[in-house]
Structure 1
Amino acid sequence: MELWLWKFWTYSFLGLLLEKAYAAVSPRRGGARRCCLLLPLCPVYGLGVTAVLLLPPQLTQSPLGMALWGGLTATAVEYGVHVWYECLLGVRFWDYQGVWGNLRGRVCVPFSLAWGLLLAAVLPGLEQVLTPLLEKIPPEVTYAALLVFTADALLSSRVLLRAGDPEAVRVPLIRMREKRAA
């Protein structure tokens, strides 16, 4: 169980870095942080990769299988998380309405293909490196991290419910820096 928590948190953090890289090169997105927590984590990525890792191995053994089944799984998770954010928290962190092949603005074909290709290209090698490192983390550290994560999730959810705006969970220092840069 502890290993899966660390995988979730690690891939959530790597997802944040991916979001930052995409925002830096995308003229439409600017430097926006699209996550629901104050911590530097994008849980949709952690949930998506965790779901892919839980697929039966025979589906993901080959790069083609990983791209197909991994991409479909990550897309399904992205859709479900979007519905959860929208219905339970009253916010939309992303909207693919203008993108070809979108489904209610929650997922779209180009990003589904991108997730599949990225998973096939990176995940097997990354897992070989990360898993042995994450297995060495002491249980006490895991429990402390879980307490911090849970407190952040509760606080962030409350803020989002009250504000109804995804910008509400952006760290004030980041908002100030972005205002000065504009």
Structure 2
Amino acid sequence: MPYTISEIIILFFTYSFIGWLWETFYCSLKDHHFDYRGFLFGPYCPVYGFAATTILLLTRKIQNNLFLLFLIGIVVATIFEFVASLFLEKFFHVKLWDYFKLWGNIQGRVAPAISLFWDVGTVLLVKFVQPLLQRLIDLEERQTHGWLAVGITLVMGIDTVLSMISVEIFHMTAKKWDKHINRFIERVRVRVESRMPEKGKLKVGDWHHSVMQHFNELRPQPLSWNHKRLLKSFPKLKVLDAPKFMEIKKEILKKER
């Protein structure tokens, strides 16, 4: 194996952290406010760590072949991004990004423009970043004898469990919001129709303002710091089975501050 297990763990953590730095910087600049990116609590995005580590393992013997570097980079990164999107949607009913507006996208999960970014990043990673980083990792291995990797594994493992619990609670809260909103709309409809039976069936239109006027009554539970972070840092976030919550998520976030 070209790397030891502890080296792979350090590489995974380091590139997860670099990916978090990049996403946080870029998205904060684009959205004109600080975006604390990432699915987990900690400052790391595992999809970058998985992709970068896999690419390094697969390109160990072909680093001088630019064509194969491009090919492996685009395939590996695209697969990881697609799988990560599918995992979040199937297990948590949440979408954190959406590329539907980009040309050639596949189900809004991946798109050629994004894959090309990963592709260029692969060449920079293999040719320039990794040689410098490997020297630091070699020094760290001599000093800690692999114990840093053990610590990273424990911290990220606990973080993953806590983050998954937090996202599931967020999902349930969003569904409760939908349930409460639907009940509220139905109560209003019944009340109005009972007072004006001659008007027939009431078509409920803009319910947003009325719901927000009854915010404290309808709110199932306060949003945690992490839930508010997700809403703020991922403008395209969607809870797939809570459409009404999604419609007023910005108003809810303002009230929760």
Shorter-chain TM-score bucket reads 0.7 to 0.9
Alpha-carbon distance between aligned partners in 2 of 1:110 and 1:81, rounded to the nearest angstrom: 18
Q: How does 1:14-29 map to 2 (within 5 A)?
A: 14-27=18-31
| TM-superposition CA deviations, 1:4-57 (whole Å, max 9, x none) | 111111000100111023214435x86433411110001111111112112154
Corresponding residue number in structure 2 for 1:148: 155
Corresponding residue number in structure 2 for 1:168: 227
CA contact (8 A) 2:15 2:49 kept: yes
Residue 89 of structure 1, CA deviation: 2.6
Q: How does 1:88-107 map to 2 (within 5 A)?
A: 88-107=91-110
Q: How does 1:49-88 map to 2 (within 5 A)?
A: 49-57=52-60, 60-88=63-91
- Residue identity matched to 2:25: A
Q: Does 1:13 align with 2:17?
A: yes
Structure 2: gaps (5+ residues)? 175-225, 234-253
In structure 2, the CA distance between the partners of 1:169 and 1:120, relative to structure 1 (3 Å rule), is: farther
Residue 145 of structure 1, CA deviation: 2.1
Q: Sequence identity of aligned pairs in percent?
A: 29
In structure 2, the CA distance between the partners of 1:145 and 1:122, relative to structure 1 (3 Å rule), is: closer
| TM-superposition CA deviations, 1:106-141 (whole Å, max 9, x none) | 100101011101211333221111123123242222
RMSD over aligned CA atoms reads: 2.5
Structure 1: gaps (5+ residues)? none
- Residue identity matched to 1:21: F
Alpha-carbon distance between aligned partners in 1 of 2:78 and 2:63, rounded to the nearest angstrom: 15
Alpha-carbon distance between aligned partners in 2 of 1:94 and 1:60, rounded to the nearest angstrom: 31
Q: Does 1:118 align with 2:118?
A: no
Residue-pair matches, total: 172
Q: Does 1:2 align with 2:9?
A: no
Alpha-carbon distance between aligned partners in 1 of 2:34 and 2:116, rounded to the nearest angstrom: 23
- Residue identity matched to 1:170: R
Residue 169 of structure 1, CA deviation: 7.7
CA contact (8 A) 1:37 1:169 kept: no
